[in-house]
Amino acid sequence: MSEIVEQGGDIIDIGAYSTRSGAADVDAAEELARLRQAVTIVRRVAPQVITSVDTFRASVARAAVEELGIDIINDVSGGSLDGDMFATVAALKVPYILMHMRGTPATMQSLTQYQDVTAEVVAHLATRIAQLRDMGAGDIISDPGFGFSKTLEQNYEMLAGLEQFHTLGVPLLVGVSRKSMIYKLLGATPHEALNGTTVVNTLALAAGAHILRVHDVREAVEACKIVGIAAGSSNKTD
How many domains would you assign to the chain? 1
**Could you tell me where the beta strands, DSSP code E, fall in 130-174?**
140-143, 173-174
pLDDT, greater one: 25 or 159: 159
**pLDDT (tens digit per residue) in 99-140:** 999 998 889 999 999 999 999 999 999 999 999 999 999 999
Angle at 19 between CA 15 and CA 28, to 5 degrees: 60
For residue 167, count other CB atoms closer than 10 A to its CB: 11
- 200 in a structural domain: no
Residue 235: the pLDDT is 55
Residue 115: the pLDDT is 97
- 202 in a structural domain: no
pTM of the full predicted structure?
0.93
- 41 in a structural domain: yes
pLDDT band, residue 89 (cuts 50/70/90): very high
pLDDT band, residue 63 (cuts 50/70/90): very high
- 59 in a structural domain: yes
Supply the DSSP string of 67-133, one letter for each residue. Answer: TT---EEEETTTTSS-TTHHHHHHHHT--EEEE---S-TTTGGG----SSHHHHHHHHHHHHHHHHH
Report which of 214, 126, 121 is spatially closest to residue 170, judged by C-alpha positions.
126
Residue 228: the pLDDT is 92
- 233 in a structural domain: no
Residue 231: the pLDDT is 77
Residue 171: the pLDDT is 98
**pLDDT (tens digit per residue) in 160-216:** 999 999 999 999 999 999 999 999 999 999 999 999 999 999 999 999 999 999 999
Whether pLDDT at 236 is above 70: no
- 23 in a structural domain: yes
pLDDT band, residue 2 (cuts 50/70/90): confident
Write out the residue range of the structural domain in which residue 67 sits.
Answer: 2-173
- 225 in a structural domain: no
CATH (domain of 23): 3.20.20.20
**pLDDT (tens digit per residue) in 19-47:** 766 666 789 999 999 999 999 999 999 99
- Of 1-10, 44-53, 133-142, the range with the lowest mean pLDDT is 1-10
Q: Which residues are catalytic?
A: 179, 213
